[in-house]
Each structure stands twice: as C-alpha cells, then as structure tokens.
Amino acid sequence: MAKNKNAISPTRAEDYPQWYQQVVRAADLAENSDVRGCMVIKPWGYAIWELMQADLDRRFKETGHKNAYFPLFIPKSYLEKEAEHVEGFAKECAVVTHHRLEDDGEGGLKPAGELEEPLVVRPTSETIIGASFAKWVESYRDLPLLINQWANVVRWELRTRLFLRTAEFLWQEGHTAHATEAEAIEETQKMHGVYADFAESVMAMPVVKGAKPEHERFPGALDTLSIESMMQDKKALQAGTSHFLGQNFAKAQDISFVGQDEKQHHAWTTSWGVSTRLVGGLIMTHSDDDGLVLPPKLAPAHVVIMPITFKADDPDAVIAYCEKLATDLKATTYDGQPVRVELDARDLRGGEKTWGWVKKGVPIRLEIGPRDMNDDSVFMARRDQSPKDKQGVKRADFLANVADTLQDIQDTLLERAKTFRKENSRVINAKDKFENYFKGDKGGFALAHWNGDVEIAKKIQQDHAVTIRCIPQDGAIDDLLGGPNEPGKCIFTGEPSERRVVWAKSY
Amino acid sequence: MAKNKNAISPTRAEDYPQWYQQVVRAADLAENSDVRGCMVIKPWGYAIWELMQADLDRRFKETGHKNAYFPLFIPKSYLEKEAEHVEGFAKECAVVTHHRLEDDGEGGLKPAGELEEPLVVRPTSETIIGASFAKWVESYRDLPLLINQWANVVRWELRTRLFLRTAEFLWQEGHTAHATEAEAIEETQKMHGVYADFAESVMAMPVVKGAKPEHERFPGALDTLSIESMMQDKKALQAGTSHFLGQNFAKAQDISFVGQDEKQHHAWTTSWGVSTRLVGGLIMTHSDDDGLVLPPKLAPAHVVIMPITFKADDPDAVIAYCEKLATDLKATTYDGQPVRVELDARDLRGGEKTWGWVKKGVPIRLEIGPRDMNDDSVFMARRDQSPKDKQGVKRADFLANVADTLQDIQDTLLERAKTFRKENSRVINAKDKFENYFKGDKGGFALAHWNGDVEIAKKIQQDHAVTIRCIPQDGAIDDLLGGPNEPGKCIFTGEPSERRVVWAKSY
C-alpha cells in the first residue's frame, strides 16, 4: 500500500456506488451469486448480522414477543385475500409450480409434478401468519398475541445491490394481534421506537422517526412508521418499518375473538420488520475511503492483535506476549459482553496484514513487536482516526481503558454521522429553491412544508426523483431545524401545512 | 383432570403415533399448516429449537467454523453436476418456474414471467455452496475452509409428521473443504463426535455412533456417519449425519487449489447437518403419558412458579413472595446460564394450570400458597417424577440446591433412556430369531452379524421393514453387548463378519 493513497478505489467523491461495492468486497462481507439477485453473505458480513440479530432479539423478547416459525410457501389463494396486499407483491415474487424434476429425454431435467395450486415464496408473511392467528385467537384472553419470526424472504427485484436490495434477503418480521385499536397503535409505535433506539445506540446511525405518506405505505396498512437515515451520498435509506394494519388483514382472514362483552370482534393487527439491508446502511453510514468502519457494538472483533516478529530475537516470546494480552482482553467486558479479540499471527507482510484489518473496519488495531514487548506496551491505532495516527500505550493502561476507548469510538461515530446529517439538511421555503437543491447529483434532506396532497408528491417524484421520506414525529427533526417543527405553507401550493416533512433522494 | 388418568390420550401403549401427535399438541409445540407438508413451529417448540441452536452454534464456533449464508435457490444446472446427488433429490423438490403472478381474467391470478432456467428450492446446499468454494479457494493457504449455515430447506415428502418429517424444515448444514483426504476424514469424524456429545449431554438422548452401509449413504458421499437413537416405540431415529464427500463434489464443481508443491489439486470436502427433527427425537425419547418431558438444558423454563391465592387472606402477599422468589432464582445459574423462570399468575383453576405445565414438560413446578409462604417454603414437583410426588422444601434450601436438582433431572433422564435402550436391544445369532424378534409390532435394536452384502440388507428391508441403522464404531455398542464387538458370522449367509451391526425399524 503506497503512502498518501487510500485503500479503496474509487473514493466516495469519485464514484459513490462503485466505492460501496469495493468496500463490501475489500471487507469480504458478501458477493453476488450466480443465482439472479441472490447474494452470498460471507462470514465477516454474516457475523455483523448475527450481532444485530442478538441485540434486536433481546429487545423483542424484553418487550414481550416470542419467536415462532411459519411456512416458506404461501398458497396463491392466501395472497389474493387482501386486495392491496396482493397488488403490492404479485409483480415480483418467486412462484413454485412443480414438485419434482424428471428426465427431459435430452440428458437434462425438466420440471414435473405440477401443483394444483401454485405457491409463492413468501415476500412477507402477513397472510400465512394471519391464517395461524385466526386459529389461535378465540377469546380476548388470547390477546395480545405477540410473535416474531427470523426468516428469509424473496422479492423478485430487477435491480439489485448487495445488502441494500436483493431478491432474497434475511429479516425479522413481527406480527401482533390486539383487542383494541389503541393497543395496536401503541404496539406499532413501541416497535418503531425499538428500531430507532437500536439504530442510534447500537448502529451509531442517526434516524428520523416519522410516518410514511399515504401512497408510500405498506400494501394493506393504515399507517406505516419508518426510520430514515442519511447515507454519505446524502441519499436517504429506509432502515425499518412498523405497520398499523387496522382490521384489514383480520377481516380478510377472520382473526376474531369473543370480547369481555361476550360479542364477536375482529382483532387489530400490526407488523414490523428490519432486514439485512441494515448492514448496507451500516456500511454507508460510517465507512471511509480506506474501507469499512464498524461501530464497536457491531464489530465481530473489537481488537485485532498483530505480532510483529520479523526483527525479533525471540519471535515466540512476542507471540506469547500477544497471546497473554488476548487472554486478558477477553476477560474484560464491553457493553456487557467479553471483549472480542482476533490474534492475527499469519505469515504476511505487515502492511498487507494491517491494511486488511483497516478494510475490515476493526475498531482497535494493535501492532506488537519486540520493542513494545520489552516496554510492556502496545502500539495502538483506532479505526475512527487516520491510519497513520498510532500511539504507544502502556499495556496496563490499555487494558484498563479498553472499554472506554471502544465506547468513545462508538460515540464518535454517532456524533460524526449526526454532524454530517445536519450539514446536509436544509430548511427550504420555496419551490424554486427546492428544485435547485436537488438539481443534478446534489441535495440532502430538504425540510419543507407540504399540504398533504399525494398527487403533488407523486409529481415531484416523477420530475426530480425526490420523495417524502417521512412526516416526522414531534421532535424528530428539531435538531435539524434548530427548533420545533411549526405549521406553515406548502411550498408547492401555498396551502396550509401542519409541519415540515423530509424530502430526499433515496435507496 | 380426573385422578388416576393420564393427561395424554391415547397413551404410548395404546397408540404410539397418535400419542406423539397429542403430546406435540398438548405442549403447544407445532401444528400442521394449510401448506402441504409444511409445519408451523409455535413459540414453545421454537424456544426449544433456539436452545439447541445456541448450544450447537457455540460448539461449531469452538471447533473453528464460521457462519455464512447462501442462496435459497439452486439453478437446475448446478444440481445436474453431481450425478448421484441429483438422482437423490430430483424426485422431491420444489421448483420455481415463474417470477410473478398476473390477472388470469377470471378474478384470480396465474403464474407469469417464466424463468429461462428453473430454480430448485434448496433440499441441501452442497452444489450452491460448492460454487462459492470454487471461487474462494485458490491456494492451500485458503484451506481448510470451515463454514456453517443455519437455514430452511425443502424436500417434497409425501408422508409428513410434525418435526420428524416435513416438507420444509430448519437445519444447519456444515460445509468444509480441506487440502488432504486425512484432514477431511478427521473433520467428518470430529463433527460426528460433536453431534453425539450434544445428543447425550444436552438432549439426554443416548446415541449409537456408526457408519451407514453403502446403500444408505448421502447421495454423492463416500462415507456417511450417523448418530442413531432409540425412540420409546423401539424404533430408531437417525438424528444427525456427517458426510465425507471425497473429491466428488470438488471435481464436479472444480474446487481446486495450488498446493505447497505448486501443483493444482482438487480439495476434499465434507458436509454435516442436524435439523428440527431433533425436536421430534427429544419428544419421543423422554415424554410420558402425561405429556412432554424436557431435559433441563433444553427447557425454555426450568422452573414455573404458580401462586395459589384463592384461599389467601392477602393474595398480594403471596404474589409478592413468588415474585421475590423468581428474582432470586433468576440470579442463580444452571449450566452457566441464569435459571429460566416462568411466573404463572393467570386466573385459572389450579388443576388446569398445573396440568398445563406438566404437559409442557417444565422440569420443576412450584405451587405456593399462604401456608408455604408463612412457612418460608415452596411446594415442589419434579417432571421426572409422578405428578403426585410433591414435597415441601424450605425456600433457602430450594434456592441453594436448584442447580443440583436440575442436573439430577438431566442425569435421570439420560440414565432412563439408556436403560430403556439396553432393555430393548438384543444380541441375535440366527436368522429365524432375527425374523421372530421383529415380527408384527415387535423389536428394538438387533445386534447381529452381517457379511456386508448390500443386496441382503435390501432384501431384509423389503421383507421386514428393518434396516441396518449403522455399522457401529469401536466401543459404540459395548454397553448394549456387555463387551467388545467381536468378529463372527453373518446370520443370513454364514460368511465372516467383522463386527455386529445395529438393525432396527426406523423413522
């Protein structure tokens, strides 16, 4: 690696989409498979997803949800039950029509055993889980029913990008049923809050909490809440959604119960999900022109130890010093868990080894040679600082402070992302300024008034590829506005508007 | 619940298959879905699977494996590459042929957008993972490659039974590539050992370790090792398999590397897996005529606390006493983890509540009324003992001993299962005795000599529905034989036989 050159080429400024692909590749996170639109998640990428899963799963359980598992296949007739829902998913789904392969007479195989009813590989599970809920719910005593599923889903996307949009992806989908509208709305909001807190405190990714405008809701939902984050190309990423489904699905599938009033009622349902797309958001929020940058809470390794033995009189002594350090580190905790340590004693050139871990985003790198050992020290670099900023630290001090150092990196990344978002958000009060803001490749979050007319929003999308990311909750964009979100006038019509909404280009 | 009657009807003796269905239902573990052959795993059943996953995942990581994720879909052409493999799976697979649904002109939907090449929903992933391995492996330095995947798979089974045989099931599949034959064989054996140890020490399910006879191997494997357990109807259950694939898949997919000799070599590969079938094995190993019995290591709740308040002057005081107990219990550990506690204060009749937890298999039940509270005691029942065997225990003693009590239940279940297996295994030295042993519904494990002729094994299977479960490893059935497995003569041909093999009816 030559000096004064970055590890990733092209840089963000040169070609952002290509930079993203190269970061994913250099960190060995995932790759495209030969199967159209499907990715292979490689061990380093999957380990990040496992850390996300563990944290989210704990939050779901703490809020009273239980995991279960439902069929991969959805009968065509199930999908047909809810009109908007089928409209939303029928155009891009994998359809199973046969149940075996047989000799095609030309040395190959052809599909055989046609099914009476085609099956769709789940694009989401409202209908198949609803069918179970209909059986499980009889009385108000069976409610609320709070279920989560970790699963793979398939949506036949035309244009795919690793993690951000793939035909198959991994996700969790929460599905709940309640006796009252108020309880279902409360659940929708609660899980929206869980996602937002996870994004900020674990992913170090600031998000705007808000509601989707009507035409951007989940097919069949009465309300869709989302968390929206800003990537480093200033585009928005929808990172998680929580849907209030009203009684639409309950009526379509007859999820009903005998209430305390001894009368029959339809339940009120919700669903909510986040996916491996979060890994894409994580990459694009923090990474730099040297590759992946991981917030410590989601780093498969917090610390990598690299013994430098080529000049050592006694290489084994250096290795032993490093092994002892790894053991001591693993006995300390960060964020309630043992510090995760990688000892890399591979026989590689030092530069190659170091840059490999830079590109993988490990928060703390230690290079340890005979001098460090003799000085009872470590030579430390932080991934949130320049690769050239390295410092000698006494071993005991490093061990005593490692948890604080990791938390400092976590905090620094969140602060940086917040600053970037603030710098790239603008209050806009006129249509021409709005159009100019988004001209060409420009633009970030535009905070502008809108009268609520869906047709106007659709027109803006068509003309400028800019969408309303969300109608922010109270307080959600106060830091971007520098004050409360007050009523005003729609910049397109001059009509009254209750609050500013967030406009942006998006993934 | 009337006295002297069992909670499950029919009993094991009356109708074993029906008893199994009723145990699954009474414990609320799983149910059939409307999708042919696919099950819904309900929260209590899924929690057992999660505990299995956590323990196995730790073992896989400790043995150097990393998790990753590969596509759900396998192009038809991939399957066709390995001849035996496609032969083994083509007859029962879900085939995706279209990528959308469109209006059929009659108010419904029909498949549209036909794919150029049909995709098979993975029945197992040797071919799709092999395609990645071919890209990842270039040099001997890239080996060994040790990967595991947690995933769903689909095999279009005609006759299904919850957990034991379903069209879709959840599993893990390990896939590894090695530079030498010896390393690959060592890996195959190592993971076989991991499965056996997990089965015995966590599931409390004794297993026989051995190799499958040639005609029962995984399609494409050179050797298949399995663990075989005995269910309470004396049938065998194949609970896990580890395959040595030789170079068959590596050659079909060109997984090759430049060795230290600077020449090109094909890798040696293995694969190994266990599935939600283990939950079926767990149920059938321990459960009794009152329902599910769970070994503590796999119990979603170790202890259930049931406050009995109907006669209490101060019901709140009883509840508070129970809550304090739950808190104290959760602060103690069993098997390195906090004790898992369920406090059941639902407003239900005591009998209904108690029997509900009996049927769910919770290891320790505590009923606590005002008298117990005033006596600073708990009223305890163990699931491995009769529902009527309850005893008062001082609260402090209960807390101090709870981990030991749980381990005692764990050990008792393993010992019971071992005794049952021993009582239902028989050394057989003559063909007529063999036939008589398996006549009608009878038989267990027959330990008999066989000359290795596959045709004989197939004939026995045809005539008696009895198969060779495995050719036991050294020492694997010494406890059943009461001594070492010595050479002898095949009971069907009189020809020499190296060792006795295990014959049984099976799932």
Q: Would you call the peptide bond into A43 cis, given omega within 30 degrees of 0 as the criterion?
A: no
Q: Name the DSSP class of B198.
A: H
CB contact under 8 A, A97 and B108: no
CB A471 within 8 A of CB A501: yes
Q: According to the model, what pLDDT value does residue B1 have? A: 42
pLDDT (tens place) for every residue of chain A, 507 residues total: 444 589 999 999 999 999 999 999 999 999 999 998 999 999 999 999 999 999 999 999 999 999 999 999 999 999 888 778 888 899 999 999 999 999 998 888 999 999 999 999 999 999 999 999 999 999 999 999 999 999 999 999 888 999 999 999 999 999 999 999 999 999 999 999 999 999 999 999 999 999 999 999 999 999 999 999 999 999 999 999 999 999 999 999 999 999 999 999 999 999 999 999 999 999 999 999 999 999 999 999 999 999 999 878 899 999 999 999 999 999 999 999 999 999 999 988 878 999 999 999 999 999 999 999 999 999 999 999 998 899 999 999 999 999 999 999 999 999 999 999 999 999 999 999 999 999 987 889 999 999 999 999 999 999 999 999 999 999 999 999 999 999 999 999 999 999 999 999 999
CA distance B504 to chain A (A): 30
Task: Mark yes or no for CB contact A119/B66 under 8 Å.
Answer: no
| Interchain proximity A121–B72, CB inside 8 Å | yes
List of chain A residues whose C-beta atoms are within 8 Å of the C-beta of residue B40: 68-71, 132
**Backbone angle region of A16, left / alpha / beta, with phi > 0 → left and psi within -120 to 50 → alpha:** alpha
Select the residue of A50, A66, A113 nearest B43 (Cβ to Cβ): A66
Hey, what are B123's tokens? Answer: 């029945």
Name the minimum distance, in Å, from the CA of A166 to any CA of chain B.
11
| A501 and A450 Cβ atoms separated by less than 8 Å | yes
Residues of A in contact with B119 (CB under 8 A): 35, 94
pLDDT number for residue A488: 97
CB-CB neighbors (< 8 A) of B109 in chain A? 76, 79-80, 86, 90
Structure tokens at A73: 């296949």
Of A34, A39, A121, the CB nearest to B75: A34
Comparing CB atoms, the residue among B68, B90, B108 nearest residue A43 is B68
Helices (H) and strands (E) in chain B, counts: 15, 27
Residues 6+ apart with CB under 8 A from A61: none
Decide: helix, strand or coil at residue A165. Answer: strand
Rg (CA), chain A: 26
Stated pTM of the model? 0.97
Kindly list the residues from chain B whose CB atom is less than 8 angstroms away from the CB atom of residue A168. Answer: 71-73
Query: Residues in chain A, how many?
Result: 507
Q: What is the pLDDT of residue B2?
A: 44
Chain B residues in contact with A102 (beta carbon < 8 A): 90
List CB contacts (< 8 A) between A108 and chain B. Answer: 76, 80
For testing the chain B interface, which of A25, A32, A35, A171 should be mutated: the one with the most B CBs within 10 Å? A35
What pLDDT shows up at residue B4? 55
**Cβ within 8 Å, pair B101-A90:** yes
Among A327, A318, A331, smallest CA distance to A378 is for: A318
Q: Report the 10 Å Cβ neighbour count for A197.
A: 13
Report the pLDDT value the prediction gives residue B349, as an integer from 0 to 100: 81
Alpha carbon separation from A184 to A181, A243, A261, A271, B305 (Å, rounded): 5, 10, 19, 10, 30
Taking CA atoms, A482 is separated from A121, A422, A426, A478, B102, in Å, by 46, 10, 11, 6, 49
CB contact under 8 A, B109 and A90: yes
Long-range (24+ apart) CB contacts under 8 A made by A410-414 are A410/A204, A410/A295, A410/A296, A410/A297, A411/A204, A412/A384, A413/A204, A413/A285, A413/A286, A413/A293, A413/A295, A413/A384, A414/A200, A414/A204, A414/A205, A414/A206, A414/A295
Cβ distance B96 to A93 less than 8 Å, yes or no, reads no
Q: Which of B94, B98, B100 sits opposite A99 (nearest CB)?
A: B94
* Pairing assessment for the beta strands B364-368 and B303-307 based on DSSP bridges: parallel
Chain A environment of B50 (Cβ under 8 Å): 67
CB contact under 8 A, A73 and B86: no
- Mutation pick from B50, B51, B66, B72 vs chain A, by most beta carbons of A within 10 Å, is B72
Q: Is B132 helix (H, G, I), strand (E, B) or coil?
A: helix
pLDDT by residue for chain B (507 residues), tens only, comes to 444 589 999 999 999 999 999 999 999 999 999 998 999 999 999 999 999 999 999 999 999 999 999 999 999 999 888 778 888 899 999 999 999 999 998 888 999 999 999 999 999 999 999 999 999 999 999 999 999 999 999 999 888 999 999 999 999 999 999 999 999 999 999 999 999 999 999 999 999 999 999 999 999 999 999 999 999 999 999 999 999 999 999 999 999 999 999 999 999 999 999 999 999 999 999 999 999 999 999 999 999 999 999 878 899 999 999 999 999 999 999 999 999 999 999 988 878 999 999 999 999 999 999 999 999 999 999 999 998 899 999 999 999 999 999 999 999 999 999 999 999 999 999 999 999 999 987 889 999 999 999 999 999 999 999 999 999 999 999 999 999 999 999 999 999 999 999 999 999
Q: A109 and B168 in contact by Cβ < 8 A?
A: no
Chain B residue with minimum CA distance to A74:
B35
Contact criterion met (CB < 8 Å) for B68 and A102? no
- Please give the helix or strand (H or E) that residue B409 lies within, else none: helix B395-423
Contact A191, A272 (CB under 8 A): yes
Instruction: Report the C-alpha gap between A422 and B400 in whole angstroms.
Output: 56
Structure tokens at A355: 């840059």
User: In this complex, do A154 and B109 lie within 8 Å of one another by their Cβ atoms?
Assistant: no
CB contact under 8 A, B147 and A76: no
Are B33 and A92 within 8 A, CB to CB? no
Structural domains of chain A in order of their starting residue, each with its CATH number? 16-74+122-286 (3.30.930.10), 296-421 (3.40.50.800), 444-504 (3.30.110.30)
How far CA B317 is from CA of A339, B307, B313, B314, in Å, comes to 43, 10, 9, 6
Using the CB atoms, write b or e for A212-237: b if 16+ within 10 Å.
bbeebbbbbbbbbbbbbbbbbbbbbb
Q: What is the pLDDT of residue A359?
A: 98
Cis peptide before A144 (omega within 30 of 0): yes
- Asked if A69 lies within 8 A of B156 by C-beta distance, the reply is no
Q: How far is A57 from chain B (nearest CA, A)?
A: 12
Distance of CA B326 to the CA centre of its chain: 31
Mapped onto helix, strand or coil, the DSSP state of residue A144 is coil
Contact A46 B34 (CB under 8 A): no
Nearest CA in chain A to B111: A95
Please give the span between the terminal C-alpha atoms of chain B, in angstroms, as a whole number: 33
Structure token digits, residue A263: 């009368």
User: For position B313, what pLDDT does the model report?
Assistant: 87
For residue A4, what are its two tokens?
């004064």
Nearest neighbour of B168 by CB, restricted to A40, A72, A92 = A72
Angle at A295 between CA A395 and CA A273, to 5 degrees: 150
Q: What is the DSSP letter of B103?
A: E
Q: How far apart are CA A377 and CA A389, in angstroms?
A: 16
Q: Which residues of A touch B42 (CB under 8 A)?
A: 68
Start-end of H helices in B123-206 = 126-136, 181-201
d(CA A351, CA A305): 14
pLDDT score for A2: 44
Question: How many Cα atoms occupy the beta-carbon half-sphere of A1 within 13 Å?
Answer: 20
Among A129, A153, A145, A232, residue whose Cα is nearest residue A184: A145
For residue B151, the chain A residues in CB contact (below 8 A) are 152
Per-residue model confidence (pLDDT) at position A372: 96
Report the distance separating Cα A147 and Cα B45, nearest Å: 13
> CA-nearest residue of chain B to A153?
B72
Q: If you ran DSSP here, which 8-state letter would residue B69 be given?
A: B
CB contact under 8 A, A79 and B101: yes
Instruction: Give how far B35 is from chain A: nearest CA, Å.
Output: 7
Residue in B38, B42, B90 nearest the CB of A101: B90
**A-B interface: how many C-beta pairs under 8 angstroms?**
190
CB A207 within 8 A of CB A242: no
Alpha-carbon distance A95 to B428, whole Å?
A: 52
Which of these, A439, A443, A415, lies nearest to A233 by C-alpha position?
A: A443
ipTM above 0.90, yes or no: yes
Chain A hits for B300, CB-CB cut-off 8 Å, are: none
Q: Report CB contact under 8 Å: A67, B90.
A: no
Output DSSP code: residue B491: T
Q: Name, in order, each residue with C-beta under 8 angstroms of A257's C-beta and a sequence gap of 6 or more.
A: A137, A138, A139, A140, A142, A143, A179, A264, A265, A267
Could you report how far apart the first and last alpha carbons of chain A are, in Å? 33
Cβ distance B97 to A111 less than 8 Å, yes or no, reads: yes
pLDDT score recorded for residue B183: 98
Distance between CA atoms of B418 and B413, rounded to whole angstroms? 9
A35 vs B39, B119, B152: nearest CB = B119
Contact criterion met (CB < 8 Å) for B79 and A109: yes
pLDDT at residue number A1: 42
Q: Tell me the chain B residues in contact with residue A151 when contact means C-beta distances shorter than 8 Å.
A: 152
